[in-house]
Structure 1
Amino acid sequence: MKNIVVLGGGYTGLMCAVRLALRTRKLDVSITLVNPSERFIERLRMHQVAAGHELADFRIPELLGERVAFVRGWATAVDTERRAVTVNAGEGPRTLPYDRLVYALGSYTDTGVVPGADDHAYTLNDPRLARRMALRLASLAEIGGTVAVCGGGLTGIEAATEIAENHPELRVSLISAEEPGWMMGEKARAHLYAAFDRLGVTVHAGARITKVLPDGVELADGGVIPADVSLWTAGVKAHALAAESGIGVDAKGLVLVDPALRSLTHPEIYAVGDAAAIRQAWGAVHGTCQSGMPSAAHAAESIARELRGRPVKPFRFGYFHQPLSLGRDDAVIQFTRHDDTPGRFHLKGKAAVMYKEWVSGSPPKTYLKTHRYPAPVTLSRGGRATREPFMEL
């Protein structure tokens, strides 16, 4: 029997596990997924939790199906020589041997970028912290108050607009070193700014944050933006387990992989999603659910091919869209080229709301479908731009 261990029960870990269960159902394999929580965390919706909304309660064992064993615990070490993972499973340390390991631990918001962010700012890393922020915002809304969202990327924009819509009594500021929506086309960005105006979100573009204070955010020009609550969404950091275990990583801590998503230093280990330094011929893939789930499905296909003695294939991926919610009643979708630069078309308003909900709600449905057949997860393979891998297998 071959033992396959998947570390991480997020979007990518679940995708890889259920795909492996389907592709290896006629082989003598054991598949185990390790995650600290039994509940599936919809990271795409954490800004909704912070704003005060409740989410559906999806349980990982139910999404995995019968062919994947679930171990609740933290992976604390990977012994690459013995090919074993040490897991703190509550009742004590537990060792899981592996023939193939899938590293799907993802990344988290880096609060070490500026002083004070770790002490005085909320993040969307943990649903428990997001719920505490929701309670704080609810109490603050009763008396009026100020909220500073630090970071003008997609997460920051979604959080700022969600909070402003759900708590119109609060004064919400969005602070960004770049222009919010810089990754979108001009027309989509115009709709985004119209939403800011409608919801009363004050945008501070080109502002570099130097410190997060207990009651505000300090800028490089010496100014201070008042904030009763600060939310930090700027920058991400990889989990340290790979580097600590001697697995080859880049300067950001992402696992270095070949075109098939195997570790360059330990080819029996696959890395997927935003835990991996994935490249295509057109450039680097940045961590999103859009790229993560296809990478996880590809890793599962590659492992199944290896176990059958077949050659693996290079991962091919191209971006397709940038879905962005602007509260519950508005959204904008920028369709993109394969390298994630904006294309000619965008979608806005109610149609975009339905599209965004389809995107955010599709992963749990996809996992359940994959119990029976290989449900599609890749919207674009990049066309001609990805026909040649960035390096040889």
Structure 2
Amino acid sequence: MSLSSPFDVIVIGAGAAGLMCAAIASARGRRVVVLDHNDQPGRKILVSGGGKCNFTNRAVTPAQYLSANPHYATSALKRYGPADFLDLIKRHRIAFHEREHGQLFCDNSAGDIVAMLLSECGAGGAEIVLEAKVGAVTGDGPFRVATSRGTYEAAALVVATGGLSLPKIGASGFAHALAGRYGLSVVAPRPGLVPLTFTGADLALMRDLAGIAVPAEIRFGKARFREALLFTHRGLSGPAVLQISSYWLTGQSIMVDLLPGQDAAARLLERKGQRPNAQVETIVGELLPARLARALAERAGLLGRPIGQSTNAALAGLARLLSEWPLVPAGSEGYRTAEVTLGGVDTAHLSSKTMAAKSHPGLSFVGEAVDVAGWLGGYNFQWAWSSGWVAGMSV
């Protein structure tokens, strides 16, 4: 197979981080080729945010990221933050809007983001080669990458192939395997921002409530998120659940507060005095959807009982169920629906200033391939832009 080597930089992966890196590096005069096994660039961008792409968040800090080294992302986020990406968005006249919690979305389509990145790559002369299945990667500056579309050689190699989440659009463990071949360790990957699954009586209850969404606060350890919770046929989903899933550890319980900011015990005792003949589920139904109220009253052993005939101890038990409901997930829906991969290439081996491996200066890892994962709400795209920019400025 012929060798294509008029390049300074090879980027493997035409996703958010890879295209950003290619755009920046080519704008600096580097000869860049981007290789991707898919038949179109930016596939994860296109399916994100319901097709509208939650491309960043106004309130990005390192505190919204999980990593074995919580300080690793700091430099990149400071050097290229949300305001910088917004400048690029505005320069390309992409209409956008802000939703709750500082989340920024395209007005039109996620395709606007992909088109913008391709335009930036084109302006710098970066070449994008699609349907290029990567085989052997050898060398150490120069690197040689054999693909189904030819063999490429360059002094610098940037790996931007993401993690394991959403395999239906081509996600794989390529970056982790390649890191291992170059002697870099990988923090054990697991699904993040993913619905949680349950079994037994908990699952039976949740199935009966499928489709009901309520505001809730969910806690695990020191992490807590107050957003919507959604009951599903498999267990729990919704923003609060997706957020806590990144912190949850197998076999341990999460704590669910269905009445955040309210004193459930005081409320029940107050209504006991005011409406003693009302059934317990009716009183709970003043605070929560009727089906959920009935299910919780039944679980507390108070279904059909007038609240005035319920002991204070029994009502205290119901209040705990409303405000401190301990649940032990059986697992998660896995990478099939996970929005991000936790873990990845260990940042102990990488420079936070360049994204390059300390032991192989020409080899860089960016985006989701690295052990940096953000909250729901545009944080992971911002990490892609920031890490891609840093690598693009360094290669």
TM class, shorter-chain normalised? 0.3 to 0.5
Please identify the structure whose Cα radius of gyration is greater. Answer: 2
- TM-score with structure 1 length normalisation? 0.40
Bigger relative contact order (CA 8 A; separation at least 6):
2
- TM-score with structure 2 length normalisation? 0.40
